[in-house]
Amino acid sequence: MCRDCGCSLGPTASRVPFAAAAPAPKGHVESIEVITAILDENDRVAKHNREHFDAQGVFALNLMSSPGSGKTSLLEATIKALQGELNVAVIEGDLATENDAARIRACGVPAVQITTGNACHLDAQMVHDALHDLPLAGLDILFVENVGNLVCPASFDLGVHRNITLLSVPEGDDKPAKYPVMFRGADLALITKVDLLAHIEEFSVERARKSLRDVGFQGRVIELSKRGGEGLDAWLDWLRAEVAARRAVAA
Amino acid sequence: MHELSVCQALIDQVERVARDNGARRVMSIVVSVGPLSGIEAQLLEHAYPLAAAGTMAENAELVVETVPVKVRCRTCHAETEAAPNRLVCATCHDWQVDVTGGEEMLLLRVEIERADEPVA
């Protein structure tokens, strides 16, 4: 297993000689111009997922962050706050265990766990397969909680309407500068665990916002603390507005 | 290290192109990769032999063309190169810019070997 992120590529298996062993051509050689996105098959499935969501009027979003920055905790708090108001379901992505799906189900909403084995990200096909176990009819919001990883998930469109990236205070305010692709692609950034600001002097919200701006992030930033409840209303209002916007499109 | 997944998608596409064009095997593959695509050229090269093993592209040469990040300034309209984590105009330092290059993750060209036409 890869020591960097747990994917199936072994660190010793990565250098295999090639090209040098290629036999000389026997037939005639021809160059074919292609120019297509390498991930066009993923993009095709993502578009298909989006059509599923739109047909059912479901607002779908993808939560991405490092492991341990508070994605599942945020979902628990969100589900509790929206109980009786909006119908929510969750697709959970992890390398292993049903732990997160079990936490979500304990909140009384449907959850499907995708265990990726050694893969370091979710792709559109995995989400599509999970949708077979998750009836979308009657749902208002579908959260996809991606594998905790600030690198790989950024490259794969899942077909959701919005991408959210979380940055927790203990991680440091320069995370966007270190992982620019992930933060640049987000529509909304959540700075989580702000109740820890009192204990972690190194973290400056101002520097985090500047770091986000430098990588080209143009969305809104909400500061959240699950424990203190700070920012939760702003986050819920953002969700409500997005759900209303989806319904307006579907109508 | 999602480069292996990306490589597998690449090989699927290359094999499709090769089959559609009656190829016997693939000689070389040219791709274009920008820093904002989220993949590393070097890691792509390392993952490639694993993804290509047992396919028509086994033994083919992978050529990765890297392209720089480019931004166009909304204020002074200059197009300049930028660092991936500092997307600002190099001329007037304004951060109100549009990215015009560096997001590429493209298959550009496939070189194939065709079986010789039978002599009539």
Q: What angle do CA A137, A141, A145 make, to 5 degrees?
A: 115
Instruction: For the beta carbon of residue B31, count every other beta carbon within 10 angstroms.
Output: 26
**B61 pairs with which residues across the strands?**
B28
CA distance A72 to chain B (A): 23
How far is C-alpha B82 from the geometric centre of its chain's CA atoms?
19
pLDDT of A1 over the 50 cut: no
Query: Positive or negative CA dihedral for A158, A162, A163, A168?
Result: negative
At residue A59, what are phi and psi to the nearest 5 degrees? -85, 120
What letters, b where the CB count within 10 A reaches 16 and e where it falls short, cover B66-80?
Answer: ebebbbebeeeeeeb
**What's the order of all strands across the beta sheet hosting B105-114?**
A28-37, B105-114, B23-33, B61-66
Are the beta carbons of A18 and B113 separated by less than 8 Å?
no
In the prediction, which pLDDT does A169 show? Answer: 98
Residue-wise pLDDT for A197-234, tens only, equals: 999 999 999 999 999 999 999 999 999 997 778 999 99
Residues of A whose CB is below 8 A from B108:
33-35
For residue A14, name the pLDDT band (cuts at 50, 70, 90): very low
**Mean local confidence (pLDDT), A151-173:** 96
- Assigned token pair, B91: 């001329």
Pairing of the two strands A88-94 and B70-73: unpaired
pLDDT at A229: 85
* Closest A-chain CA to B13: A38
Burial of A206 (0-12, 13-18, 19+ CB in 10 A): exposed
Asked whether A38 and B6 are in contact (CB, 8 A), the reply is yes
Distances (CA, A) of A85 to A80, A141, A250, B31, B98: 10, 11, 19, 49, 39
**Which CATH superfamily groups domain A56-250?**
P-loop containing nucleotide triphosphate hydrolases (3.40.50.300)
Q: What is the pLDDT of residue B118?
A: 56
Distance from CA of B29 to the nearest CA of A (A): 9
Q: Which residues in chain B touch residue A155, judged by CB atoms under 8 angstroms apart?
A: 2, 6, 37-39, 105
And the tokens for A26? 């026997």
Burial of A40 (0-12, 13-18, 19+ CB in 10 A): middle
Q: How confident is the model at residue A25 (pLDDT cuts 50, 70, 90)?
A: low
C-alpha A9/C-alpha B42 separation (Å) is 14
- The Cβ of residue A75 has, within 10 Å, a number of other Cβ atoms equal to 22
- The tokens describing A195, both together, are 């109740």
Within chain A, where are the H helices?
40-56, 71-82, 99-105, 124-131, 175-178, 180-184, 205-214, 232-250
Q: What is the pLDDT of residue B53?
A: 96
Residue in chain B closest to A17 (alpha carbons) equals: B49
To the nearest whole number, what is the mean pLDDT of chain B?
Answer: 93
| Three-state secondary structure string covering chain B | CCHHHHHHHHHHHHHHHHHHCCEEEEEEEEEEECHHHCCCHHHHHHHHHHHHCCCCCCCCEEEEEECCCEEEECCCCCEEECECCECCCCCCCCCCEEEEECCCEEEEEEEEEECCCCCC
Closest-CA residue of B relative to A175 is B85
Structure pTM?
Answer: 0.88
Both tokens of residue A211? 């770091």
Interface of B with A in 34-63 (CB under 8 A): 35-39, 46-50, 52-53, 58-62
Q: In what order do the strands lie in the sheet with B70-73?
A: B79-81, B70-73, B97-101
Under 8 Å between Cβ of B26 and B111: yes
Residue B48 contacts residue B62 (beta carbons within 8 Å) = yes
> What's the angle, vertex CA B68, arms to CA B67 and CA B70, rounded to 5?
125
Average pLDDT over chain A, rounded to whole? Answer: 90
How far is the C-alpha of A25 from the C-alpha of B59, rounded, in Å? 12
Q: Give the model confidence (pLDDT) of B48-59 as tens digits.
A: 999 999 999 999
CATH number at B3-67+102-114: 3.30.2320.50
| pLDDT at B5 exceeding the cut of 50 | yes
Enumerate the residues of chain A whose CB falls inside 8 A of the CB of residue B6.
38-39, 155
B38, A120: Cβ pair inside 8 Å? no
User: What contacts B14, CB < 8 A, 6 or more positions away?
Assistant: B26, B29, B55, B56, B57, B60, B107, B110
Whether pLDDT at A26 is above 80: no
Residue pairs spanning A and B at CB distance below 8 A: 155
Residue ranges of the domains in chain A? 56-250
CA distance A108 to A69: 23
pLDDT bin (cut points 50, 70, 90) of residue A117 is confident
* pLDDT over 70 at A102, yes or no: yes
